[in-house]
Amino acid sequence: MTQSFSGRRLARELGDWRTSAPAYRALSDRIRVLLLDGRLGSGITLPAERELSQSLAVSRTTVAAAYAALRDHGYLSSVRGSGSTLALPGGRRGAHTSPIDLRLDFTKATCAAYPGMAAAYRQAADLLPGYLHHHGFDMDGLPELREEIAGSYAQRGLPTSPAQIMVTIGAQHALNLLTGTLYSAGDRILVEQPTYPHALDTFAVAGARMLSAPVTSEHGWNIAEAAQLIRRSAPSMAFLMPDFQNPTGLSMPAADRARLAAVAAREGMVLVADETTAMLDIDRGPELPLAAYGPGVVTLGSLGKLAWGGLRIGWIRGPRELLDRVRRHRPSTDLGTPLFEQLVATLLLRELPLLAASRTRDLRRGRDHLSGLLASAFPEWTWPVPDGGMSLWINTGNLSTSALSLAARAEGMALVPGPRFGLDGAFERFLRFPFCYSNEELTEGVRILSGAAARTGGIPFRLPLQAVI
């Protein structure tokens, strides 16, 4: 069934779409970005020209020209009497956007596999025959893996029983399970602004009304505003990343963790803390997990960022009563976590200090290299240098990152513009740039970025970057 967007709804998705480019081109570019990064799906029928012009307070001629530009580039098909429908050219993600065409893909903040990964898989293969008597439908997780996960929390200062752990097929799967368990129709969910895009996707699919609590590079989390939202709107759950937050790289101070956990406990709200980046420490040092500050905090974890994205193992740490509820809900979603991957994860957790140290070295090298490149090429841009995580959150001044990402795609590089990390089109002037890639890839990426910025009229072209090592 074809989905139609009203003019008001599309205007909300577009957010701050105006740039220094002609209005029709800025509008068509913005719609194209929304299609390419998945916020608008192929097959969606756009509102009529007159309706959208009224919602955006622009002339109908501007909307007509924007639609014509989208048709010319193969992103829109129009049939008289049936409206205008978004489409991906050739069934792919547009010109210059398929994996074959891309030379660099910076849309994923993820590292190459840990050097010990192959050995862990070989060792797990040797162990697997001893588990073939198992029926294979594992809803809780192997006892030895849950023990290792519980032990990792104890080492961080949070005593944990294996009974408080449920193993899942990655952290995103864990979030879906929790959302299906905690959320009821009509509930509100509190999220950080900006935040992890696929969390927003999960809540949007559930039909949740999302409330946003700001996180800024200058001031971090606004706990007072978050507390006010919780008291006034009574959300059933909140989602946040307190350690090396994606995309800002910030970590929540201990005092803020205590205040937020206290508010959540007082108001009866479940705090869901995504700790998939918590072990990506470069300079910060140990920090107590958010769950150490209150019993109402549920934690998501995984080895995807730390070890390898291809290892689909995650977990939920929470009260036993909540895990019982998740267990009852889970069969409607899946029938358990694969045993072989659990064996690999168990072996990796047994060498967690080596794994974390290896990742720290790579991330420090990438962070410092990328910061140096950007400082030379874009002195007008600003960004905090995070003490952990995988990416920089860059303020590009007056440059639209949607336009920038389209210009970069034309040169074979994929980026995620800032609005993908926010609600209602916010963060148009922000760009997430991962530093978890090789120095050669980062150097080439900034070279392409410089040319793209010059073409969009935001920053003068000021290479050569050959001199930046």
Averaged pLDDT for residues 377-392: 96
For residue 292, the number of C-alpha atoms closer than 13 Å in the C-beta half-sphere is 15
Radius of gyration (C-alpha) of the chain in whole angstroms: 23
Start-to-end CA distance of the chain, whole Å, equals: 53
Distance from C-alpha of 300 to C-alpha of 215, rounded to nearest angstrom:
20
Distance from C-alpha of 262 to C-alpha of 166, rounded to nearest angstrom:
25
For 431, the enclosing helix (H) or strand (E) is strand 430-434
Average model confidence (pLDDT) across the chain: 89
Q: Is 353 helix (H, G, I), strand (E, B) or coil?
A: helix
Contact 72, 32 (CB under 8 A): no
For 327, the enclosing helix (H) or strand (E) is helix 320-329
pLDDT confidence of residue 466: 40
Distance from C-alpha of 86 to C-alpha of 351, rounded to nearest angstrom:
49
Q: Is the pLDDT at 291 greater than 80, yes or no?
A: yes
Distance from C-alpha of 226 to C-alpha of 192, rounded to nearest angstrom:
9
Contact 429, 398 (CB under 8 A): yes
- Give the distance from CA 115 to its chain's centroid: 25
Q: Is the pLDDT at 460 greater than 90, yes or no?
A: no
Distance from C-alpha of 347 to C-alpha of 17, rounded to nearest angstrom:
48
Report residue 276 as tokens. 């998939």
pLDDT confidence of residue 237: 96
Contact 37, 416 (CB under 8 A): yes
Q: Is 410 helix (H, G, I), strand (E, B) or coil?
A: coil
Bond from prior residue into 162 cis (ω within 30 degrees of 0): no
pLDDT digits (tens, 9 = 90+) for 202-214: 999 899 999 999 9
For 85, the enclosing helix (H) or strand (E) is strand 83-86
Nearest to 184 by CA among 240, 236, 239, 238: 236
Question: What's at 408, amino acid-wise?
Answer: A
Residue 451's alpha-carbon distances to 153, 185, 314, in angstroms, are 46, 47, 39
Nearest to 215 by CA among 398, 416, 380, 427: 427
Contact 401, 378 (CB under 8 A): no
Averaged pLDDT for residues 334-363: 96
pLDDT confidence of residue 288: 97
For 371, the enclosing helix (H) or strand (E) is helix 352-377
Distance from C-alpha of 274 to C-alpha of 460, rounded to nearest angstrom:
39
Distance from C-alpha of 403 to C-alpha of 20, rounded to nearest angstrom:
10
Question: What's at 5, amino acid-wise?
Answer: F
pLDDT digits (tens, 9 = 90+) for 68-100: 888 888 888 877 766 888 887 654 433 334 443
Distance from C-alpha of 349 to C-alpha of 142, rounded to nearest angstrom:
13
Q: Which domains does the chain carry?
A: 7-91 (1.10.10.10), 104-111+354-455 (3.90.1150.10), 117-350 (3.40.640.10)
Q: Is the pLDDT at 39 greater than 80, yes or no?
A: no
Residue 8's alpha-carbon distances to 4, 56, 61, 335, 413, in angstroms, are 12, 8, 18, 41, 32
pLDDT band at 2; cut points 50, 70, 90: low
Report residue 218 as tokens. 């200058």
Q: Which residues lie closer than 8 Å to 429 by C-beta, 6 or more apart?
A: 395, 396, 397, 398, 399, 400, 401, 418
Distance from C-alpha of 53 to C-alpha of 47, rounded to nearest angstrom:
9
Distance from C-alpha of 116 to C-alpha of 99, rounded to nearest angstrom:
27
DSSP structural state of residue 98: S
Overall pTM surpassing 0.75 (yes/no):
yes
pLDDT band at 461; cut points 50, 70, 90: very low
